[in-house]
Structure 1
């Protein structure tokens, strides 16, 4: 039963990682001026993933006895999993926004070519923050006896700091470029902030998880020893 639940959790986390990959693809499609149909396909893919994740989370919550050790472990993960679900729904909102805007022909969608590599790098760092968050949930890490130190060189906060640094650099470039009209600068700045927002949310969830571990919540090994 323990192996089955661990496998279910791994499958759930793999699906989150797949959703992150869709987000990265959607950002690339938008930056490269992808077709309206291409952007809507990405929106459809993230929606389907969210439905799958909802079904998987429901199976996790109902697949163990509430008063068992495994039931307690799954119960302890509900709040963090709910936080991840909120993050994914926000990613869905952004991807749907890309799809809607792809149907417009106004200059608001114009992304200067020299900014595209910077925005792609920002997207990579943001997705890396989510990927690091996913890895920190792996049962092999989550169910160990020692508290999680949170000091890994490339943890969620590290990638979030990288994303913040990049977003500030990009915003400075946007507002310092006199060749870009103000009505274009503002949507560009909003795009940067929307992408960076994903990393901020990932760090917030990560902090909640760390707080739970540092508070000394009982682990599976701790329960089994009593």
Structure 2
């Protein structure tokens, strides 16, 4: 069998080697493309970034829309109420707070010299309590102490701290922090002492908005 081989075509049986055709005419020179940036716009958080060409395919003008990033501190409302002097307490009584040094937003309200911290808007909130509990020097120990959070008159699971005061004049620091979900408003929060005859000082009660209630999304 006869084969025809050429550098560009390989080997083919029987068929003659192809003959290259004439070189075609040179085409016109192309125009250089340009790309410029047009506008850059901030979009709403959670939306998609977009790029739109407002020019031509040859001379592109790109307009960008970039969504605003989320931040842990963005638009979060904060509230803090405190009381410094030693405050005697009766059994089952809620602690009283006299000062509101920090109040950002209107989601949380409190009337000075009262026990009620009121959440006015549904959502998820971080509730924190810090303070010192003591036993008067005229008392004898040991005396237990249980402090807990109530929401609308009901104990909040996990929001409590328990300790024991061994002798009169002894003090100890107490604290707890827990996120809570608020669906029905207004919702009343209180810090309650199960035992009476104790002294509470340097107490603080803070509420920080963490975000919206998932059930409302």
Q: TM-score range by the shorter chain?
A: under 0.3
* Structure holding more strand per residue: 2
**Alignment TM-score, normalising by the size of structure 2:** 0.23
Larger radius of gyration: 2
